[in-house]
Amino acid sequence: MKAIMLDTEILSSVAKQMMTSKAVEIDGHKYQAIEQNPEKPSRWAELARRGHQVVQFRDSETNRFLAVSVDGKVTVYGAGYRDTR
């Protein structure tokens, strides 16, 4: 698997502009930014219910979630994705 470089500053900026879902292209790679549904049974939804802004980022090509932003602070998931900073 090829490592994909993520700029968490760009992801954070996108998260702050969210409504519900937004397509994002970074360095020619497409992602989907999805505002967390607070009704879901997850720890991220619990944070959303408490009033935090939670945005999940999904790789449009592989359909895998690759990062989450909570109140603008980005956490990158797993191997294969790296912060470019």
2-40: burial string, b at 16+ Cβ within 10 Å, e else: eebebebeebbebbeebeeeeebebeeeebebbbbebee
Q: Where are the alpha helices (DSSP H) in the chain?
A: 8-16, 43-49
Residue 67 CA to its chain's centroid (Å) = 4
Give the tens place of pLDDT for each residue, 15-36: 665 557 788 888 888 999 898 9
Give the tens place of pLDDT for each residue, 43-79: 999 999 999 999 999 999 999 999 999 998 888 888 5
